[in-house]
Amino acid sequence: MIKPASPTFIGPIAHCLTVDHPAAFSETTALVEQVVSDTSPYPSREQIEALYRDLTRLPNTHLALVYGGATRIKGYVFESPKLPEIRGASALLDWVNNTRIPQLWQEIIEQDWACQCIIYASGGNVLGFAPPAKAQALATAIEHCYTEHTLNANSFAVTQTFHLLEVRYGRLVFDTDGRLRAWVDSFLQDWQRITNEDAPLAQRVRQALEDYYYRPTDSPDTPEARFFQRKTFGELVTVLARLAMRRRDERSIAGIPRHVALYPLLPWAEKCDSSDVRPAVWQGQVADEQREMSEASARKRYVGQILKGDQENTRWHTRTFAWKVPDTLQERSWETLWMKYVRSTTGQMSRYATRLPQHVYAPRDVGDIAAAGGGYIGLIYADGNNVGRRVARCKAPRDYKQLSHDLDAASKEAVFHALSTHLTPHTLTEHGTQRHIHPFEILTIGGDDILIIVPGTAAFDIALAIAYHFEYQLQSRDESEAPLPRTVHDRYRGGDSNAERFLAYTPAIGLSAGVVIAQENAPIFFLRDLVDELLKNAKKATRDRSATDGGMVDFMVLKAITMVTDDIKTFRENALGTATARRMTARPYTWHELAGLLATVRALKQQRFPRSQLYRLRRQMDTEIPPITITSTMEYLSTRVRLRAALQAVLHQHIEQHWQGTGSISNTAMPYTPPWLPLPKQPGDSTETTPKETIWADLLEMYDMVEGLEGVDGNT
């Protein structure tokens, strides 16, 4: 269980309102508590107007919210293909966001209570209250801080002043007599009027209203429920998010400076061999390499060396540049947090901790990680589903802080548990000397965002374990706090124990992921683009499913970089026929299905199923002309009956019985012809052919990347 971490923010809000009127603090605090603590589901116009009149006796009723953070984070982190610089960029950005930015509240506001105003600072963003007179200075300092320490990371910071009542009831407009100009009664009138009109303009307005006042998830879908779900603190966050989108695209306006880094590459300048877009300002020996680097790239490399304990070889930076690594940066590095975890009560009995040598080091490059994965690395990129909608439903700052804390804690716990369960320290032998390394790299864990590099042969198990523990910690529970089991209608019907775990709870927030596995010499920036597309595919597929189904995963195993020369969508249309009625892949999968797919692969490997037979059937599928599938079906059946009894049994059980598609095997409208799975027809599809898909190509693609019989918790 995730421990509660949410204050009510009554004190910080009162301080922001009375920073220039300290004598009114007690009276202000009482009224703030009355407003913020209101839990009525349907506050009335009269109730809000009465509170407004009570607040008029206060010297100040307005406070500001400041929202900021980094943008284009992956472009900054993956600008260089070298792991030490990627590690340094990620750590530097995390330190600025999680440590340095919160310190600005204390420095700008100059009050002991300033840091208590921060609602959250994680995942690359920060949100907090501030006195209106200090808010713009704070926003400017946030943007300047990112530029000062990273030199070239993009950032934004915006601020908006709100009435105290808006912290609880969303955006409000009062006339000069203290009456609300619009509330639920006027909203319902407008909703009804627009509903009864058929004009195109009215329909567009109706659609805009439905998008803004979106469908409630925990109450009947009525216009009144939509209105009150939106009129909360979450509406203020939406306002700030839209201001942030505008700020990202604008230059300095209205006298507000914009701190955007620009390093012109003059014709006679040497290029930075790390970024290839900035002029080099330093050249010399770094480790065993001759480098020409810009200051921004040099700083990333310097931080990366410090984090892996290579302080002795950083004189090249300290003798040239004045900037030094802050002490708090190293204390909050992922390696430091990881070692604390494996030595804690939670992690000390894990597989990783029990095999931990006395001295273990960070990997020098992706080759060290690949050495533990048969020459392959796996890049896992995961993100929560519909978190923005969940944030917008937060009724109070306390709820927002609790959600942020829960997401951050669930992400860290899920990643650490998965790594400690499925990995062990790897031993490298170089020139007769052994060196123990951590066979992974944590690039970022922030909020619901996860990006890690792991050995290729462990990538699927680690991704599955991360999803299970993330969703399990954030599950919906009944009144007795017991898990709520669920029933899913997906393509896997087997009883694998690891797959069954995903049915023992109902996720409140699902986690989707992209997983790309490639050889160690694959460019990291190329893999980053691929895994980003895979994640988008997975998240897109979840939109057509129930929220209680959880997240989905899409994956790709690259045996050669030249497999994909454009994007994944184009590649799959050409190679796997994803745009036809005969899809040669069943990706993306639910997590329940992925667990079943791994169980299927392991069952085939356990029986030493002839690889040649698998590839022969795959070639038969390639030779068929869509939408024909009967030839490959007959080939599959004839192959099965010629195999020995144990192999026949494994195909019958793990292919035919466990994988039956989204339609019933007895449904004549959706015939089941193994190894093809029937697909429901899309709306408007008038063809008589039943669309089909198969897991066969997916099995073969992941076959070499699945080892052992380990599951979600590493049980054998």
- In order, the DSSP letters of 24-65 are GHHHHHHHHHHHHT---SS--HHHHHHHHHHHTTSS--EEEE
CA distance 592 to 415: 19
Residue 479: per-residue pLDDT: 52
Residue 121: per-residue pLDDT: 87
Of the listed ranges 70-79, 450-459, 698-707, the least confidently predicted one is 70-79
User: Minimal CA–CA distance to 453: which of 464, 441, 437?
Assistant: 441
Of the listed ranges 224-228, 587-591, 680-684, the least confidently predicted one is 680-684
Which single residue is written with the structure tokens 């249309």?
573
pLDDT tens figures, 20-61? 999 999 999 999 999 998 888 899 999 999 999 999 999 999
pLDDT surpasses 80 at 219: no
Which single residue is written with the structure tokens 């009269």?
46
Maximum mean pLDDT: which of 173-182, 559-568, 572-581: 173-182
At 712, the pLDDT band (50, 70, 90 cuts) reads: very low
- Planar angle of CA 458, 464, 468, nearest 5 degrees: 145
Average pLDDT rounded to a whole number, residues 117-130: 90
CA distance 94 to 367: 25
pLDDT surpasses 70 at 237: yes
pLDDT surpasses 60 at 716: no
**Residues β-bridged to residue 68:** 126, 157
Residue 663: per-residue pLDDT: 53
CA distance 86 to 447: 20
CA distance 342 to 417: 9
pLDDT tens figures, 314-327? 889 999 999 998 88
User: Minimal CA–CA distance to 156: which of 87, 229, 69, 277?
Assistant: 69
SS3 of 537-589: the string is: HHHHHHCCCCHHHCCEEEEEECCCHHHCCCCHHHHHHHHCCCCCCEECCCCCE
At 550, the pLDDT band (50, 70, 90 cuts) reads: confident
Which single residue is written with the structure tokens 């009560």?
345
Can you read off the two tokens belonging to residue 529?
A: 């683009």
CA distance 268 to 261: 21
* In contact, 17 and 63? CB cutoff 8 Å: yes
Residue 671: per-residue pLDDT: 59
Residue 709: per-residue pLDDT: 57
The Cβ-side half-sphere exposure at 40, using a 13 Å CA radius, reads 10
CA distance 168 to 165: 6
Question: What percent of the chain is modeled with pLDDT above 90?
Answer: 54
Of the listed ranges 32-41, 250-259, 394-403, the least confidently predicted one is 250-259
CA distance 633 to 645: 20
CA distance 225 to 213: 9
At 710, the pLDDT band (50, 70, 90 cuts) reads: very low
pLDDT mean across residues, the chain: 88
Total number of residues shown for the chain: 716
Local structure of 161: helix, strand or coil: strand
Contacts of 60 (CB under 8 A, 6+ apart): 17, 18, 20, 21
pLDDT surpasses 60 at 686: no
User: What does pTM read for this prediction?
Assistant: 0.91
Residue 667: per-residue pLDDT: 47
Average pLDDT rounded to a whole number, residues 640-660: 93
Q: How buried is residue 527: exposed, middle or buried, by Cβ count under 10 Å (0-12/13-18/19+)?
A: buried
Question: What percent of the chain is modeled with pLDDT above 70?
Answer: 93
Residue 483: per-residue pLDDT: 81
Maximum mean pLDDT: which of 200-209, 432-441, 557-566: 432-441
Residue 670: per-residue pLDDT: 52
Residue 266: per-residue pLDDT: 80
Map out the domains of the chain with their CATH numbers.
10-72+92-171+235-249 (3.30.70.270), 184-230 (no CATH), 333-474+509-575 (3.30.70.270), 598-694 (no CATH)
Q: How buried is residue 525: exposed, middle or buried, by Cβ count under 10 Å (0-12/13-18/19+)?
A: middle
At 685, the pLDDT band (50, 70, 90 cuts) reads: low
Distance set, CA 536 to CA 401, 533, 555, 575 (Å): 27, 5, 11, 20
Average pLDDT rounded to a whole number, residues 428-449: 88
CA distance 568 to 18: 56
pLDDT tens figures, 256-286? 666 667 777 788 888 888 888 889 999 998 8
* In contact, 65 and 130? CB cutoff 8 Å: yes
CA distance 463 to 109: 43
pLDDT surpasses 80 at 298: yes
pLDDT surpasses 50 at 714: no
Contacts of 429 (CB under 8 A, 6+ apart): 435
Alpha-carbon torsion 43, 45, 48, 54, what sign? Answer: negative
pLDDT tens figures, 175-211? 988 899 999 999 999 888 888 887 788 888 888 888 8
Can you read off the two tokens belonging to residue 256?
A: 């507000």
Local structure of 506: helix, strand or coil: strand
Contacts of 53 (CB under 8 A, 6+ apart): 178
pLDDT tens figures, 440-491? 999 988 878 899 999 999 999 999 999 999 999 988 655 556 788 888 888 9
- In order, the DSSP letters of 637-671 are HHHHHHS-HHHHHHHIIIIIITB--SS-TT-TTS-
**Residues β-bridged to residue 557:** 517
